[in-house]
């Protein structure tokens, strides 16, 4: 008797090659429309599916998980961060959760470096000048001046995969690496990155010129960069976030930039995505803030590799083995 293929419900459009492979392997329900599913559609999917493949745009809380059908055994997230899933509630119901770490590390670190450079050297502001026909007086010694990054101090909050990949890049740009992490990284890593560890986030913030958020959003990191902590930064400091919007008190950041107490920011992620605070949008028009629509892992290569990881996680799980990227309670 042939085994029934698992019903895999995918909530967003995935790269063609990934969808093709999924069709071959699974009984798959795809989302050709590529819009986030409504809560009702998501609940219906959870009732029917053996496996759900969500993304960061799906809010999978305990309420929606309570509507899951008896067949749902795996949530194979297409993405690294799992803060949009109530993993504890899923695990309680015997549902395994996996993610796609590692394969998007380098691309997300590139985008973080790109934001640091864009903000410090006013790249997006400058790039608008010629198309807007505003370059009338030619080169000038005093025009469009930014900030040198060489020799400055970069403070990385969350020295994991992306934090370390950023540190490697930043060193090549002559930045001095400082970091705060839940745990100090191994001495060999610290020494290879020539990185200075700060047990006290407050003390590190007061000393760095650029701060980059690279930790996950968890109950412990919600508004980790609170108004109080942001006020510890130097007035010329630049804040960069490619992790999750919720780690920074976005309103406080906007207020401090408006008041000139923090210089500028480069943000790829926001507290209420896809809605972005009008204050930040206004600041982006003045050039003090660079805003990207959550593009950290947006390369063809990362997205194909993420799809490959999702498939491997589903296949391994369905074959009765432990999927490689299982989220364990100790990680929460």
Ligand X SMILES: NC(=O)c1ccc[n+]([C@@H]2O[C@H](COP(=O)([O-])OP(=O)(O)OC[C@H]3O[C@@H](n4cnc5c(N)ncnc54)[C@H](O)[C@@H]3O)[C@@H](O)[C@H]2O)c1
- Told to judge if 244 belongs to the known catalytic residues of this protein, a careful annotator would answer yes
Return the residues of window 136-165 that contact ligand X according to CB under 6 A: 158-163
* In contact, 29 and 54? CB cutoff 8 Å: no
Contact flag: residue 230 with ligand X (CB under 6 A):
no
CA–CA gap between residue 225 and residue 208 (Å, rounded): 14
- Told to judge if 294 belongs to the known catalytic residues of this protein, a careful annotator would answer yes
CA–CA gap between residue 96 and residue 161 (Å, rounded): 23
Q: Which does 256 bind (CB under 5 to 8 A by kind): ligand X, ligand DGY, none?
A: none
Contact flag: residue 100 with ligand X (CB under 6 A):
no
- Told to judge if 273 belongs to the known catalytic residues of this protein, a careful annotator would answer yes
Q: What is the CA radius of gyration of the chain?
A: 22
Q: Which does 216 bind (CB under 5 to 8 A by kind): ligand X, ligand DGY, none?
A: ligand X
The active-site residue out of 12, 169, 217, 294 is: 294
Tokens describing residue 18: 């990934």
Long-range Cβ contacts of 145-148 (<8 Å, 24+ apart): 146/120, 146/121, 146/122, 147/120, 147/121, 147/236, 147/238, 147/263, 148/120
Q: Which does 162 bind (CB under 5 to 8 A by kind): ligand X, ligand DGY, none?
A: ligand X
CA 222 from chain centre, in angstroms, equals 14
Q: Which does 98 bind (CB under 5 to 8 A by kind): ligand DGY, ligand X, none?
A: none
CA–CA gap between residue 19 and residue 87 (Å, rounded): 25
Tokens describing residue 272: 């209420």
Cα dihedral across residues 6, 11, 13, 15: positive or negative: negative
For residues 122 and 244, which CB has a smaller minimum distance to ligand DGY in the complex?
244
For residues 101 and 155, which CB has a smaller minimum distance to ligand X in the complex?
101
* In contact, 178 and 235? CB cutoff 8 Å: no
For residues 237 and 292, which CB has a smaller minimum distance to ligand DGY in the complex?
292
Among 12, 21, 229, 244, binds ligand X (CB under 6 A): 244
CA 201 from chain centre, in angstroms, equals 20
Region of 19-27, 41-49, 116-124, 241-249 interacting with ligand X (CB under 6 A): 241-249
Q: Which does 56 bind (CB under 5 to 8 A by kind): ligand DGY, ligand X, none?
A: ligand DGY
CA–CA gap between residue 59 and residue 103 (Å, rounded): 23
Contact set with ligand X (CB under 6 A): 80-81, 101, 104-105, 108, 158-163, 180-183, 214-218, 220-221, 242-244, 268-269, 294, 296-297
Q: Residues with catalytic annotation?
A: 244, 273, 294
């Amino acid at each position: 008797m042939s085994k029934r293929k698992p019903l895999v419900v995918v909530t967003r459009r995935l790269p063609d090659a990934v969808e093709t492979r999924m069709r071959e392997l699974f009984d798959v329900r795809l989302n050709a429309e590529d819009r986030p599913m409504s809560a009702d559609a998501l609940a219906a999917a959870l009732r029917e599916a053996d496996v759900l493949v969500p993304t960061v745009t799906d809010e999978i809380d305990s309420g929606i998980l309570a509507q899951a059908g008896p067949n749902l055994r795996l949530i194979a997230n297409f993405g690294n961060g799992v803060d949009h899933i109530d993993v504890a509630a899923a695990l309680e119901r015997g549902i395994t959760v996996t993610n796609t770490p590692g394969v998007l590390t380098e691309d997300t670190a590139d985008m973080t470096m790109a934001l640091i450079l864009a903000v410090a050297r006013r790249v997006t502001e400058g790039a608008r000048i010629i198309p807007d026909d505003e370059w009338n007086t030619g080169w000038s010694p005093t025009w469009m001046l930014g900030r040198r990054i060489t020799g400055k101090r970069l403070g990385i909050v969350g020295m994991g995969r992306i934090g370390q990949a950023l540190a490697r890049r930043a060193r090549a740009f002559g930045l001095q690496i400082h970091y705060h992490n839940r745990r100090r990284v191994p001495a060999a890593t610290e020494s290879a990155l020539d990185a200075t560890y700060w047990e006290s986030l407050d003390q590190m913030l007061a000393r760095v010129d650029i701060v980059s958020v690279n930790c996950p959003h968890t109950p412990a990191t919600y508004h980790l960069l609170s108004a109080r902590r942001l006020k510890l930064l130097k007035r010329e400091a630049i804040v960069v976030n490619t992790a999750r919007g919720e780690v920074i008190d976005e309103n406080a950041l906007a207020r401090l930039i408006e008041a000139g107490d923090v210089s500028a920011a480069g943000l790829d992620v926001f507290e209420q995505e896809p809605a972005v605070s009008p204050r930040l949008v206004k600041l982006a028009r003045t050039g003090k803030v660079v805003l990207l629509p959550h593009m950290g892992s947006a390369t063809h290569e990362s997205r194909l590799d993420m799809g490959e990881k999702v498939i491997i996680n589903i296949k391994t799980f369905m074959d009765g083995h432990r999927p490689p990227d299982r989220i364990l309670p100790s990680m929460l």
